[in-house]
Amino acid sequence: MSKYRYSKVSGDASIREYISLEEDIDGEYTIVSKLNTPLHKIAIVEQEGNLLVYSGGYVMFSTTDDEDRYSEAMVHIAMAAAAKRKRVLIIGGGGGITTREALRYSDVRKITTLDLDEVIMKIGKKLEPVVAFNKGSLNHDKVKTVNEDGRKFLEETDKKWDVIILDLPEPSRKSVEVSRLYSVEFYSLLKERLNPGGAISIACSNGDSTPQYLWSIYATLRDAGFHVLPYYYLEEDDADDWLYCLATTSEVNPNDLSMVVSTKNLTTERLRQMFDLPYYLNIAKNTGKIQTDDNTVLVDIIDKAYYNFE
């Protein structure tokens, strides 16, 4: 991989194909590599000893402390809520960090990790700093990696899982088809592929700009027949709050959930606190709309929040 120094120049068209203005990096950084795949424009960026992997202009995963916090919240709530944890499915796990977290559980027997882009998966498997960060998770003997669309994979199998983790990009005008991984039809399929007592966690964007995004996923999951609990993770010194939904086949009381393993950032107390949503999220609860295969509910929310499209 070639390496060169890039001093940030706002609006530089040559780099804007890889790093969007919304995701601009403060200060100087090194672009380790720019890659064009059939699916994505990928930039691997090094800054202050960390790697950030951009896809379609936005950070897909990194080797930062933020990534630890995000992935712990993504994985351990569903693992705590599930009746069993023997079989885990991760859709959108090419960086291997969520897989690393799932491997903390001794009762996990098999993890299937999917990513549509083979190059992203190769980065998670072979790029040394990423492999060090994910502790070689994608090369672990309990892990099977698959390069395939998550919906197609589930439509063509009759296997079932105890825990399913959905860490997917937000749909946009450039990738409207991603909405099919958030639709009531897809969530109904997930319900068929979940064992009794199973649990699903779903990343739901940020609360400061898109609370309606969370509540639309919430409404869609409920329409598919799930019991749903929204939760969030916010560091006091961080500007962004990460939103998630926990979806289960039977009702769960957050106060009954406990951390089973030790992690950097989560305790049982912190886990339970994440279900206590702040006022600015709760007041938007009734704004959610149901995403289907045939509408653009989530794309419209993202467009309005980030691009001022009405």
> Which single residue is written with the structure tokens 């027997």?
109
- Residue span(s) of the chain under CATH 3.40.50.150 come to 65-307
Q: Which residues fall within 8 angstroms of residue 142, CB to CB, at 6 or more apart?
A: 103, 108, 109, 110, 111
Backbone angles phi, psi at 237, to 5 degrees: -95, 15
Looking at residue 113, its pLDDT comes to 98
The DSSP result for 249-296, as a single string, is SS---GGG----S--SS--HHHHHHTTS--HHHHTTGGG-----TT--
pLDDT of residue 9: 33
pLDDT score, position 16? 66
**pLDDT for the residue 4:** 30
Q: Structure pTM?
A: 0.92
DSSP 8-state secondary structure symbol assigned to residue 23: G
- Is the CATH number of domain 65-307 3.40.50.720? no
Q: What is the pLDDT of residue 21?
A: 59
Are the C-beta atoms of 92 and 167 separated by less than 8 Å?
A: yes
DSSP 121-185: HHHHHH-HHHHHHTTTGGGSTTEEEE-S-HHHHHHT----EEEEEE--PPP-GGGGGGGGGSSHH
The pLDDT assigned to 78 comes to: 98
pLDDT tens per residue, the chain (310 residues)? 223 333 333 334 466 677 765 666 677 788 888 888 887 789 899 988 999 998 877 788 999 999 999 999 999 999 999 999 999 999 999 999 999 999 999 999 999 999 999 999 999 999 999 999 999 999 999 999 999 999 999 999 999 999 999 999 888 888 889 999 999 999 999 999 999 999 999 999 887 778 999 999 999 999 999 999 999 998 766 667 899 999 999 999 999 999 999 999 999 999 999 999 999 999 999 999 999 999 999 999 988 877 654 4
Q: Return the closest-CA partner of residue 244 out of 299, 194, 205.
A: 205
Residue type, 218: Y
Is 167 one of the annotated active-site residues of the chain? yes
Rounded distance, CA 203 to CA 243, Å? 6
Catalytic residue among 12, 167, 256, 276: 167
Alpha-carbon gap, residue 42 to 58, rounded angstroms: 9
